[in-house]
Amino acid sequence: MTTTPMTAIETEDRRQYRTTRRRDFAVDLSMALATILAALVIGFLVMLATGNDPIRAYEAMLTGPLDRSFRVGRWLEDATTLTLLGLSVAIPFRARQISLGAESQVYAGALAAATVSIFLPLPPVVAVVVPMAAAAAAGAGMGLVPGTMKARLGANEIVATLMLNAIVVRVYDYLVNGPLKEPGSNAVHSENIRPDSALTPLSDWFGIPLGRANIGLGVMLLTAVALWLLITRTPLGYRIRMTGANPDFAAYGGIRVPRVIEWSFVIGGAVAGLAGAHLVQGVYGRLEPGLAGSLAFEGIVVALLARNNPLVVVVAGLFYSYLRAGGDIMEQQTDVGTEIVVVIQAVIVLLVTAQALPNLLKRRIARRQVGVR
Amino acid sequence: MSSVLDVVLSSAFLAAVLRIATPYLLAAFGGLVAERAGISNIALDGQMLSAACTGALVAGYSGSVALGAVSGVAMATLLGLLLAALRLELGADAIIAGIGLNLLASGGTAYAVYSLLDDKGGTSGLRSGSLPTVTLPGIENIPVAGDVLSGQNMITWLAFLAAPFVAWLFYRTRFGFHLRAVGEMPDAAESVGIAVRRVQYTGLALSGALAGLAGVFLSMGYVSFFVRDMTAGRGFIALAAVFLGGLRPWGVFLAALGFGAAEALAVQLGTLDVPPQLVSTIPYVMTLVALALYAWRRKRRGGAVPTAASL
């Protein structure tokens, strides 16, 4: 902040800028809510058409996760990983880079975190931080490969990230089944990490059973705020936004677009790496086959739903995990398969991407208003 | 090493390559047609999956394998048209809409199977049968070719016929010429009177149908039932083959066949002392390197090669 007092016009400008910001945020949020509502209605109709009782199913889905404290824990633990993965794709998406590489990055992160926290004896606290840093570095490295290929050579980032996913998932599978498998164990998983490296469970703090939810939740929230500040308040964030809005114009304005693209991939990769660290150090305590499941792709949905705004990603991630947790409970209590959640999620993606839809509605409303007159 | 050679040169291995390459070939041609029409079809995987599921379910309930196969292909065609409609009518991003359609297929098939059969895994409880194999009279008696070619599923034959078909379609027909023009530069195509939208809708329908054939092969040829998420990412690999093949029919053919051969090799090497997971990464590493080389070459030449819709 400068020490010179602001003129009246400057203060006015600033206020106007803030109102616009706030309005944008509100618009993002209400659009997301409308989309969700529409998708839930479609899910309702699908359940009705397949002969199920949608009201009972939704009741179980929407109230179930808050029923017991360990269910809340299950929800928060899932939301932590999912939101981190959503944040990880939101950054390249902001630069208009369609990175589908979160899967390779989360597995690379998990491998790095596990290797450090199993084999490297470290003093407390450091034992938590170093594996996470290693995971972030591994994820960033995985992001750098397609990022550089795209930025310097113009190679299609979708294919590059998909190929990298296929490679890393197979290498991970090999390591968990081979070199990193716990010796003498029949089940396929690695050794447990050292207790010092574990992320503290939230149950220890609150004194109620919260399952495997851990302080990774705090890490996730801090990451979201940091990324929001990065995007909205730093020169790099400005460059990322400009590159995403119009790369030619950005380059014309003196922004080194290739470097910005690389950075967006590296930052996204580091965040996905953290998600891998959370899975290892907070959730499973070791490497398991297929550790991340379909979370990497669902992270994309979360980012889209939030229109790549890091703070909204948190809300979307919490909401989406809530649906996931609720879907499992719904399946236990009613006969409706939890897969309906995936259908609802797909409808959300399709609605979000149909950009002409809101305009179409607006135009229709406008036309009707004209007609009334 | 000699044991590896023995495996690779055996006729059983070659037959396996043809079988395993079938879904890659068909899906890759589907991806190619869409890509050249100017709309990236990243929903190949979902189209395969829904075709596989629809095929097995319809065949199981109606008792007619042919009806099942046709319904499966029709379902995938509809999804291709839906992708085109989302892109052309609602201004959706083709990639994101494709991701959405993949999710819809994954969730929808699993939900349908669970609702109908009360089974989480798939339709193995339903007797749906598989499509007939083709035996060419006379060819069985030829030493190696007989073992490799005879008894292959009819869709495998279709997959290999798809290569000359697509090449003919692209370079010898009016529609193919229009399709390539639309994909290259829609505005220019429109200005000379080509019905851009109609060409793109047709292209995406054909793309979906080819992916549908690939899916039907999985649930009614490769095995005779549907398993949840049975495509196992094959649609994405096929998409990579499209790019690796330089967006040209015979290039795509070789790339898809290469993926099939590598996977067959990985399966075979599993019996030897080589980690199969590492062997199976080879085609993807190759693709990554080829992608970089291809991009580098294009950058130096300055756009002499066909450009992809998603670049």
CB within 8 Å: B103 and A342: yes
* Confidence band of A132 (pLDDT split at 50, 70, 90): very high
Query: Which residues in chain A touch residue B115, judged by CB atoms under 8 angstroms apart?
Result: 50-52, 337
Does A43 map to a domain? no
Predicted local confidence at residue A348, as pLDDT = 85
Q: Report the residue from B99, B233, B237 with minimal CB separation from A300.
A: B99
Least confident of A187-191, A363-367, B76-80: A363-367
Q: Provide Rg for chain A, Cα atoms.
A: 22
Spell out a b/e string for B257-290, using b for 16 or more CB atoms within 10 Å of the CB, else e.
bbbbbbbbbbbbbeeeeebbbbbbbbbbebbbeb
Predicted local confidence at residue A93, as pLDDT = 92
Distance between CA atoms of residues B246 and B227, nearest Å: 32
The whole-angstrom distance between A223's CA and the closest CA on chain B is 25
Least confident of A25-34, B13-22, B51-60: A25-34
- Tell me the C-alpha to C-alpha distance, in Å, between residue A62 and each of A47, A337, B16, B165: 15, 15, 48, 52
Residues 88-117 of A with CB under 8 A from B: 98
For B170-173, the CB contacts below 8 A with 24+ separation are: B170/B36, B170/B249
Does A354 map to a domain? no
Q: Which domain holds residue A241?
A: 75-337
Q: Report the residue from B96, B111, B296 with minimal CB separation from A343.
A: B111
With a cut of 80, say whether residue A248 has pLDDT above it. yes
With a cut of 70, say whether residue B139 has pLDDT above it. no
Nearest CA in chain A to B242: A159
Condensed to tens digits (0 to 9), the pLDDT of residues B173-190 reads 888 888 898 888 888 888
Nearest CA in chain A to B287: A163
Of A371 and B204, more confident: B204
DSSP string across A102-120: HHHHHHHHHHHHHHHHHH-
Residues 103-122 of B with CB under 8 A from A: 103-104, 106-108, 110-112, 114-115, 120
Nearest CA in chain A to B112: A50
CB within 8 Å: B277 and A171: yes
Q: Which residues contact A171 (CB under 8 A, 6 or more apart)?
A: B277, B278, B281
Of A23 and B253, more confident: B253
* pLDDT, mean over chain B: 83
CB within 8 Å: B90 and A354: yes
Nearest CA in chain A to B291: A155
Predicted local confidence at residue B310, as pLDDT = 45
Do B35 and B242 touch, CB atoms closer than 8 A?
Answer: yes
Does A52 map to a domain? no
For domain B2-130+137-301, the CATH class is mainly alpha
Residues 284-343 of A with CB under 8 A from B: 297, 300-301, 304, 337, 339-343
Does A123 map to a domain? yes
Distance between CA atoms of residues A85 and A271, nearest Å: 7
Distance between CA atoms of residues B201 and B85, nearest Å: 8
Nearest CA in chain B to A341: B107
Predicted local confidence at residue A264, as pLDDT = 94
Query: Which residues in chain A touch residue B114, judged by CB atoms under 8 angstroms apart?
Result: 337, 339
Query: Which residues in chain A touch residue B86, judged by CB atoms under 8 angstroms apart?
Result: 350, 353-354
How do the domains of chain B map onto residue ranges?
2-130+137-301
Highest mean pLDDT pick, A99-113, B2-16, B188-202, B294-308: A99-113
Interface contact B302, partner A, CB < 8 A: no
Least confident of A43-52, A268-277, B208-217: A43-52
Q: pTM value? A: 0.83
CB within 8 Å: B107 and A149: no
Residues 112-141 of A with CB under 8 A from B: none
Distance between CA atoms of residues A159 and A156, nearest Å: 6
Does A22 map to a domain? no
Interface contact A149, partner B, CB < 8 A: yes
Does A125 map to a domain? yes
Do B59 and B65 touch, CB atoms closer than 8 A?
Answer: yes
Domain count, chain A: 1
* Confidence band of A4 (pLDDT split at 50, 70, 90): low
With a cut of 90, say whether residue B286 has pLDDT above it. no
Do B156 and B22 touch, CB atoms closer than 8 A?
Answer: yes
Does A39 map to a domain? no
Longest dimension (CA), chain B: 61
